[in-house]
Amino acid sequence: MTDGGDPMIRLALVSITLFAACGADDEAPPPTAVVSDPEAESLCDEYCAHADECNWPNANTCAADCDEWSSFFRADVFRFLHDCGMELHCDESMLSCWSEAEDSFVTTGAQQALSDHCETRLDECGTPDIFIDPVCHPQNLWAASDQAVAAIDACLDEPCDQIQACVDEARAGWDAPWI
pLDDT per position as a tens digit, 79-105: 999 999 999 999 998 889 989 998 888
Query: What gap in Å lies between CA 81 and CA 83, rounded to an integer?
Result: 6
For residue 106, pLDDT beyond 50: yes
For residue 151, pLDDT beyond 60: yes
114 contacts 146 by C-beta, under 8 angstroms: no
Query: Omega before 31 cis (within 30°)?
Result: no
pLDDT at 172: 65
Query: What gap in Å lies between CA 167 and CA 114, rounded to an integer?
Result: 12
What mean pLDDT is predicted for residues 48-70?
90
pLDDT confidence tier of residue 14, bands split at 50, 70 and 90: very low
Between 75-87 and 95-104, two packed helices, what is the crossing angle to 10 degrees? Answer: 140
pLDDT at 2: 45
In sequence order, the β-bridge partners of residue 5 are 2
What mean pLDDT is predicted for residues 33-54?
94
For residue 176, pLDDT beyond 80: no
Domain boundaries, the chain: 37-104, 109-170
For residue 177, pLDDT beyond 70: no
Query: What gap in Å lies between CA 32 and CA 146, rounded to an integer?
Result: 6
